[in-house]
Amino acid sequence: MNQIKAISVSIMSGLILGLIGVHLMGYIAAIAIPKEYFLWFEENLFIELGFFILGLVEQFLGFGILALITGYILGKVTLSNWLAYSLICYVSVLFYFSVGSALVYGSPISNPFAGISSLYFLPSLVLPACLLMASYMASTRYNK
């Protein structure tokens, strides 16, 4: 596969990943979490851990599974340059988060990492971690 086709596949897969993931997060955010979940964390540990675990699960269900599938496809298509094309895919996902979602949903363009504190930043690493892990495992470098 030549380089221009691989770059365009990476960009398009990132945009599609962002589009579907944002749509899925809308449904995942509508799931009601029982009040007892937060009360248990408030009594036994600290409430921020409850929000952290909830954020990890939400990110994995909304973006992690899609990133695993996309990374596997990118790893098989791009073969030895899996890292470069996975990073291009991730940058296009970030582009969709800031500009694409603003165009689709009619909201203002925003920074995809705005408002994330130090503890709540970690769940946002689920998407790049799953994408890079799956593309590496599907590449020929791993399968030698």
| Tokens of residue 124, six digits | 């946002």
pTM: 0.81
Domain residue ranges in the chain: 3-138
Q: How far apart are CA 67 and CA 13, in angstroms?
A: 10
pLDDT for res 75 = 85
Whether the CB-CB separation of 29 and 58 falls below 8 Å is answered with yes
* Range name among 44-48, 60-64, 67-71 with the lowest pLDDT average: 44-48
Report the C-alpha gap between 64 and 125 in whole angstroms.
9
**Encoded amino acid at 19, one letter:** L
| pLDDT one-digit tens code per residue, 100-126 | 777 777 777 766 666 565 556 666 778
Do the beta carbons of residue 9 and residue 90 sit within 8 Å? Answer: no
Q: Check: CB of residue 132 under 8 Å from CB of residue 71.
A: yes
